[in-house]
Structure 1
Amino acid sequence: MNEAIHRWSTDAVPPAQRLDYWVGAVCEGFLEMDVTSCAGGSFAATLESAPLGPIVVNQVRGSAQAVYRTRRAIAQSRHNYYYLLCKTDSAWVTVQDGRSARLLPGDAVLVDSRRLYEFHLLQSAETLSLELPTAWVDAWLPDAGDRVARRIDGQSGWGGVLSGFIRQLSPQMASRPPVPAELLTDQLGGLLALALGHGVSQAPGEGRAALRRRVLDATRERHAEPGLTATAVARGLGISERGLHRCLAGGQGDGDGNGDGDGGTTFATALTAVRMQAARRMLGDARFDRLGIAEIGFRVGLADASHFVRLCRRHLGATPGELRRGRLN
C-alpha cells in the first residue's frame, strides 16, 4: 500500500466488533458521524483515503448502512468540509436542510458538514467521497450553501461530465497523479460550477466576453510555462481565481472566430487545447524536424514526454511520432 494512502478495514477485528470499529474509522477518516446497519454480523466495510492537492479522495466499500451527521457531532468537530459524493452501483438517498434527494447510479450530490445530514446507502456503501475545504468550494460557488442535497444528474449535460471525471478519481490515482494535482482540482472545481449551473450571469454580457478574451489570450501567451495554473494566470491579470473560472464557465463568445468561445469551458480544458494546437503546428512544420519529441513537448509546456504523447494521442488522434511521419510520407 502506498504510504500516501490511509486504509481502514473491518477485517482487522472480529465480526461482533466490526460496526463499532467502522464508526471509529469513519470518525477518524472523515468527521464525527453515527452509523447504523441492518447487516448484523455480516457487516463489512473498508475506507481508503489520499490527499490530492487541497482536497481528499475517499473511497468507501462495504455493506448497506445509514450515516448521520448529528448536532452532537457538529459541536465536537474541529474542522468542517463540503463533501461531493458519487455512487455508481445502486440508488441511495441524501437528506440535508429538510431536502431529500434520491440519487441514481452515477449521480452526484454536495453536502455541508456544518449542517445535519443523512445518507441512506440502501444496498451497499460503494461510494466515492471527495472532501472539499469550505473556502475552496466558496471560491467556485458563492451560493454553495443553497446547492446542497440537490441531485446532480450523472447521465447528461455538465453533470454527466462531472460524474465521469469523479469516477476517474481514486486514492491510488491521488497518491500518484498523472498530471499536477492543481490541474486536476482546477478541472474539478470548474466542472462543479458548470454542473450546478453557476455562470457569471450577474455581470454585464459585454464585460464577461471581454474578460473571457483576456483570460484565453493570457493562457495562449503563457501556455509554454510548465505547470501553468489558473492561479498564476489570474494573478497576472489582476483578477481573482474565482472570477477567472466563472468567466470561462459562463460560455461567452469571444468573437475571434476560432471556436473557443462556444459554450462554457474550464481552465484545464482551454490550456490543453492551446498546447495541442501548438504541438500540431510544430509537428506539421519541417523547420521543427530537428527537435526531438520530448523537446516539442517541453516547448508547449509539458515537461513529461510520456504525458505529452498521451495527450497527443487523445486530442490529436495520433502520437507525435505518428503525426510527424504522416506528414513526411
Structure 2
Amino acid sequence: MSNAIHRWSTDAVPPAQRLDYWVGAVCEGFLEMDVTSPEAGRFGATLESAPLGPIVVNRVRGSAQDVYRTRRAIAQSRHNYFYLLCKTDSAWVAVQDGRSARLLPGDAVLVDSRRCYEFHLLQSADTLSLELPTAWVDEWIPDAGDQVARRIDGQSGWGGVLCGFLRQLSPEVAVQPPLPAGLLSDQLGSLLALATGQGQSSAPDSSREALRRRVLDATRERHAEPGLTAASIARVLGISERSLHRCLACGVGEGEGAITFAGALTGFRMAAARRMLGDARFDRLGIAEIGFRVGLTDASHFVRQCRAHLGATPGELRRRR
C-alpha cells in the first residue's frame, strides 16, 4: 500500500536546507508556489499524496508557514486545479480575489490555482488538501469562481457534513477506499455543491420532482449491481451526471430533503438487506451471499455497512427477529 502513496519529507536533508527542499517538494507535489516560514531555522514538513478517482488526496504536516501563489508561478504552471482545504488543529487564513477567509479548526475553503492566493498557516501546516480538476469542479458548481476564499462552516449545515466527510479522507483511504472511488468522488461533489449553496434548481417543482423520482426508481431497481455509479444511472436515463446530482440535492417537499446518490444507493441496499435478514426463508444464505445480493461484494464491508446503517451486524439482525 505504501508504494502507492507519494511522500516528500524534509527529514531527507540537513536542517539548513529544509525550507528550500520544501519549496521544491511543494512545486513537485502540488504546483509552483513560494513558501516562507517564521521557523526557518527549525523547519520541518512532510507531504503525502495519493489519487482517488479524478481527485488527489494530499496530507501536509509541518511547521508554520506562509504560502504564496504568484503571477510568475501561474505563468510557469502547465496545469491548474481547484484545491479544497480543511485544517482541524488550529485557525488559519486564506486569501484570494480580495477576500480573506479566516478559518476556524474544522472549516474548509476552496481556492483556484489560476489566480493568485495566499495561505497563512500561523501555528502549523497540518492540512488536508484535495486537488480537484477544474472541469470536475465546474460540473458541480456553476459559479465556482465566486466561491473561492469563502469560509465553509465546518460545524453546521451542509458545510458540517462536507467537512465531516473530508476528515475521513487520507492518502491511506485513497489507496484502499471503502467504496468505489467513483462513488466517493460523487459524494464529495454532491456535498461540495450543497455546502456552497449550489443545490438549488430553477426547474419547476413538478418537473424536478419527476426527475428525482426517475433517478431514485432507477437506482432502486439496480441497487444490487456491484459498483453501480451515478454516471451509469444518468446514461440510462438520458440526462447528464450533473443533472442527476442536482435533482437529488434539491428537496421537493416535506419528507423529501436533499440527498446524495451514494446515500440513496446505500439506503436501498440496506433496506433490501434488512428484509432478507428478517425473513427466515433467506436463512439458507450466508451473510456474504446476502451482501452480494444487495450489491456489496466484500463481506466485511457489508458487515460494517449494516452496523453503521442498521445498528447491528447481519448476524445480530437475524437473531433479533
TM-score for the superposition, normalised by structure 1: 0.96
Once residues 238 and 290 of structure 2 are traced to their aligned partners in structure 1, the CA distance between those partners, rounded to angstroms, is: 31
Give the match for residue 287 of structure 1: 281
Once residues 314 and 176 of structure 1 are traced to their aligned partners in structure 2, the CA distance between those partners, rounded to angstroms, is: 19
Stretch of structure 1 that moved more, 280-289 or 53-62: 280-289
Once residues 79 and 251 of structure 2 are traced to their aligned partners in structure 1, the CA distance between those partners, rounded to angstroms, is: 35
Once residues 240 and 200 of structure 1 are traced to their aligned partners in structure 2, the CA distance between those partners, rounded to angstroms, is: 16
Give the match for residue 2 of structure 2: 2
Once residues 252 and 263 of structure 2 are traced to their aligned partners in structure 1, the CA distance between those partners, rounded to angstroms, is: 16
Residue aligned with 1:61, SS? strand
Once residues 239 and 96 of structure 2 are traced to their aligned partners in structure 1, the CA distance between those partners, rounded to angstroms, is: 34
Residue aligned with 2:66, SS? strand
Gaps of 5+ in 1: none
Once residues 241 and 98 of structure 2 are traced to their aligned partners in structure 1, the CA distance between those partners, rounded to angstroms, is: 33
Give the match for residue 128 of structure 2: 128
Once residues 179 and 250 of structure 2 are traced to their aligned partners in structure 1, the CA distance between those partners, rounded to angstroms, is: 25
Once residues 198 and 152 of structure 2 are traced to their aligned partners in structure 1, the CA distance between those partners, rounded to angstroms, is: 13
Does residue 271 of structure 2 align to residue 277 of structure 1? yes
What's the CA shift for 1:102? 0.2
The answer to whether the Cα contact below 8 Å between 1:47 and 1:59 also exists between their aligned partners in 2 is yes
Q: Which amino acid aligns with 1:127?
A: T
Q: Which amino acid aligns with 1:4?
A: A
Matches within 5 A, 1:52-201: 52-201=52-201
Once residues 117 and 18 of structure 1 are traced to their aligned partners in structure 2, the CA distance between those partners, rounded to angstroms, is: 23
Give the match for residue 51 of structure 1: 51
Among residues 280, 292, 317, which one is paired with 1:323 in the alignment? Answer: 317
Residue aligned with 1:3, SS? helix
Give the match for residue 245 of structure 2: 245
The answer to whether the Cα contact below 8 Å between 1:59 and 1:127 also exists between their aligned partners in 2 is yes
Deviations along 1:98-132, one digit per CA (max 9) or x if unpaired, are 11100000000000000110000011101000000
The answer to whether the Cα contact below 8 Å between 1:200 and 1:208 also exists between their aligned partners in 2 is no
Give the match for residue 208 of structure 1: 208
User: Please, what is the CA RMSD of the aligned residues?
Assistant: 1.0
Deviations along 1:175-233, one digit per CA (max 9) or x if unpaired, are 11122111111111111011111123321121111111111111101101000000001
Give the match for residue 265 of structure 1: 259
Residue aligned with 1:318, SS? coil
Among residues 291, 295, 302, which one is paired with 1:297 in the alignment? Answer: 291
What's the CA shift for 1:286? 1.5
What's the CA shift for 1:8? 0.5
Residue aligned with 1:239, SS? coil
Q: How many residues align?
A: 321
Q: Which amino acid aligns with 2:273?
A: A
Q: Which amino acid aligns with 2:301?
A: H
Q: Which amino acid aligns with 1:48?
A: E
What's the CA shift for 1:155? 0.4
The answer to whether the Cα contact below 8 Å between 2:201 and 2:246 also exists between their aligned partners in 1 is no
Once residues 111 and 79 of structure 1 are traced to their aligned partners in structure 2, the CA distance between those partners, rounded to angstroms, is: 15
Once residues 124 and 172 of structure 1 are traced to their aligned partners in structure 2, the CA distance between those partners, rounded to angstroms, is: 22
Q: Which amino acid aligns with 2:160?
A: G
Structure 1 runs, 4 residues or longer, greater than 6 Å off: none
Gaps of 5+ in 2: none
What's the CA shift for 1:250? 1.0
Deviations along 1:223-247, one digit per CA (max 9) or x if unpaired, are 0100000000110110000000011
The answer to whether the Cα contact below 8 Å between 2:44 and 2:63 also exists between their aligned partners in 1 is yes
